[in-house]
Structure 1
Amino acid sequence: MAMAEQRNDKPGRAPNTERRRGWLSRIAPGVRGLTKKDTPENLWVKDPDSGEMLYRPDLEAALWVTPSGNHMRIGTKLRLDYTFDDGRYERIATPVVVDDPLKFPDTIPYPDRLASARKATGEQDSMAIGYGEILGQPAIVVVQDFTFMGGSLGVAAGETFVKAAQEAVKRGCPFVIFTASGGARMQEGTLSLMQMARTTLALNEVKAAGLPYVVVLTDPTTGGVSASYAMLGDVHLAEPNATIGFSGRRVIEQTIRETLPPTFQKSEFLVERGMVDQVVERKDLPEKLSSILKTLMMGRERLPPAA
């Protein structure tokens, strides 16, 4: 019994209220020490430009634009929330398509990749549709989510785009898209390439109805997307420093055997060459879009929303 009492008296063995209180409460009486449970794991976010650690609530308040001006990539929900008045909008259901039409062989089965992307983003595919008002101007808005398999264009995204175009015609309102993509989805082969033509034909219906189609290019917009609907807008806006192009920078440099300027394929570079009309900061996009849409819709009778 005595030996047991000796062991318990050793440092670290006996219950020690002071140790359990933690170092913070010892140097600042009355202040409760923080535990790992109290601190969110994602409280700090690294600035992609400077490497500085940014306080997440501050970054959220700045619409995910860093102090250095980097417009960080955001998902579907945030984009729709930032675009529509007071974050109020109607989500329009996207068409249901076959997940793996070609039974594509891969290191990870294509259905498993889709399941993983759906779980991570909460979306069915890389495109989603919302209907609401942008500073009072009704509009159909499509958002491409780069976190969903690189925003790649496949059959599901193509069907979603076509449906959005049809909804714009039915509701008699403008069509706006926020593009973010690495190009066509290789797991769907030729079927994904066909979406370039299908989306172009759908846009013909929008333009035949005399409705505006406005494109907002975000980082990155590349590949088959930039070779189709991303460059067919009546007006092209872009977020600052977004990468916009068809082929990758290294591929072009190896082909022409020249070193490209650092600003090549950036928003500002494309404005100088007439491919983009204006670079607009994220916080100013709703006001700019509303102004453009109201101007382009001037003189048109406003149709009541579809049931």
Structure 2
Amino acid sequence: MGISELQTSDSATAPLQLAREVLAIEAREVQALAERLDENFVNAVGLILQCRGRVVVTGIGKSGHIGNKIAATLASTGTPAFFMHPAEASHGDLGMITRDDVVIALSNSGEADELLAILPPLKRIGAKLISISGNRLSTLSKAADVFLDAHVSQEACPLGLAPTASTTAALALGDALAVTLLDQRGFSREDFALAHPGGSLGRRLLLHVQDVMRHGGDIPSISSSSLLKDGLLEISRKGLGMTAVLDDAGKPVGIFTDGDLRRAFEAGVDIHGTSMGDVMHRNPQTILPEQLAVDAVALMEQYSISSLLVVDQQGNLVGALNMHDLLMAKVV
């Protein structure tokens, strides 16, 4: 059916029906793949875990695109990996591979010329070979140290031509490898963040309070015995919308915010005759500098506040921050 026929068809469900069939076919093929996983998968995981070099993923055409994504997923989950185009491999890129590496080669047919051309030199180099293929009798599968069966009973393409279910199965198998390796290595959320410092998860897991807090002369602070008018000047100078209130030993015993100021004005408090200790909010919420910045966000949300004082293990004031600081750091 052509596009014009779809647009004039009385049945508006035809495109949806075909889309659902595509998804159903691909889901069935992935489920079938899960059910036939065997010791070969375990052997592939073991081979990669024992690898002293890198995992090199290769494939041509659609398999190459899938291989590129598998390499990226492996690299971001604790298994050093990169993609090598098989055509470029025949023209010098094989020099990137050593005997300590493991090569994962993808080809649904297992007979891609570009892959078969690099099998002899790979054997001479001594790198281990894992094949992901839909043909266990193929040249590639027979040459591999470990063969992972990714065959599908049908493609989702109505013509049976475009790689659809087969590429989905190969991609899912690559994800299964990456996640299993992640688990076996004890790869943590913190490890993941180190590989993604530019992402939101990286910021949430790598940024600490000390990385975003105001410190030194930028910390608003005033003695509890000082007058309220002096506290207002300190708030205005430091621009955090609050000030820490300190005792004679210099430790924070309270906090005074813009909100406290409004309430003081509403109560008719004399700013020239009232001390900070009389109007401050006692027992302020504090956080340690080595805690994660995301912990500061959680504290602010829990207590419906927009500012925090940062203290060290001895209770000394070492910093201050507000929600704007966290927003600027893209933690929120």
Higher helix content, 1 or 2: 2
TM-score by length of 1: 0.29
Larger radius of gyration: 2
TM-score by length of 2: 0.28
